[in-house]
Amino acid sequence: MRSHDVMPDMDLYQPIQVEDAVALAGRLGSRGWLLGGGQDTYGWLKDRAKTADAMIDLNGIESLRGISETADGIEIGALTTLTEIATNPLINARYSLLSSAAGRVASPQIRNAGTLGGNVSQDVRCWYYRRGLDCYRAGGNLCYADTPEGMNREHALFGASRCVAVNPSDTAPALVALEASMVINSVDGERVISAEDYFVGPAIDIENTTALRVGEILTAVRIPATWANATFYFEKVADRNVWDFALVSMAVAMRVSGDTIQESRFVCGGVECKPRRLLEVEDAVRGRSHDASTTELVASYASRGARPLAHNQYKAPLMNNLVRRAIETV
């Protein structure tokens, strides 16, 4: 009988330097589990749905914490808590889209422990997958949610390729909208990729939701000054105001001059296995006034191409309405 109360036996490593953590991650490979805030980790391990031979606890590495101003924006350590991001004066003043998103994650207790790196790197929350069923994402040959009997109210409208689970991160759409970059370290050195490329769908990788590979560690997130002090809009629609993941969320950054929207980035969460850029909406609002005519013209573009499942048809009009609200609140 599988225990749900006792952690499995494993080795514990507690490095205090990034270099040591990277070396451990490279040596242990898939046998090692990286630990940050632990909000996703402990559920997996206690339920024995996933296992590891060793845990690499990153919490002793102080260089992975904090928010600093750079010559071209800000840099946020991957172990910076969501509460720190939500309350940081610099982020609130210039990049409030991110602080708004971080402030909507789960509950105060979880935000106090949860980290930015963990929030953007967490696995999908599909209950079939989490219960240990042999779905496509777990190495099987069936998506239980995408069947006539499947419970798929929270699942994807777009990008389904065997798996219809959605990305659960609240901060991910905001980072994509802000054109953030993700700093990744390994024994081979450092690589930096855009937030938009960091998140991947099942057509690219059925087992992982990010571009992180075995032996790599997300060490920081960089946000350029491109959208500093822009007009921002963030809204998360969930069944409850605390604990729940987004049914649909919308993160928007706009440059507005007078009545005209010059440039924008509309990014939707909860509708695909990665944050979804609404490129048609961005193209349609460029150079237009943020008035009722623009709102009515572009709102329906948000859900174009959606392929609803049996129980998630409501997400398409919800996407449209969130676009409408974002433009109306400029």
Residue 33 lies in a domain: no
Q: What is the mean pLDDT of residues 130-136?
A: 92
Residue range 213-256, pLDDT digits in tens: 999 999 999 999 999 999 999 999 999 988 899 999 999 999 99
In a domain, 6, yes or no: no
> Is 39 within a domain?
no
What is the number of structural domains in the chain?
Answer: 1
Examine residue 317 and state whether it is found in any structural domain, yes or no: yes
The percentage of the chain sitting over the pLDDT mark of 70, rounded to a whole number, equals 98
Residue 17 located in a structural domain: no
* pLDDT at residue 4 in the model: 56
Please, are residues 226 and 240 in contact by the beta-carbon 8 Å criterion?
no
CATH of the domain at 198: 3.30.465.10
Average pLDDT over the chain, rounded to whole? 95
> CB-based contacts of 308: which residues, under 8 Å, 6+ apart?
157, 315, 316
Max Cα distance, the chain (Å): 66
- Residue 13 in any domain: the answer is no
Assess if residue 137 is contained within a domain: yes
Distance CA 319, CA 326 (A): 11
- pLDDT tens digits for range 29-64: 999 999 999 988 887 887 767 889 999 999 999 999
Domain that holds residue 131: 65-330
Q: Check residue 41 and give its pLDDT.
A: 87
Task: Output the six-digit token pair for 172.
Answer: 């991910």
How does pLDDT run across 77-101, given as a tens digit for each residue?
Answer: 999 999 999 999 999 999 999 999 9
pLDDT digits (tens, 9 = 90+) for 3-37: 556 777 899 999 999 999 999 999 999 999 999 99
Q: Which of the four pLDDT bands, split at 50, 70 and 90, describes residue 330? A: confident
40-54, 115-129, 202-216, 294-308: the lowest-pLDDT one:
40-54
Residue 1's pLDDT band, with cuts at 50, 70 and 90, is very low
Instruction: From residue 252, give the alpha-carbon distance in Å to each of 53, 116, 130, 279.
Output: 41, 19, 31, 12
pLDDT digits (tens, 9 = 90+) for 252-278: 999 999 999 999 999 999 999 999 999
Residue 35 lies in a domain: no
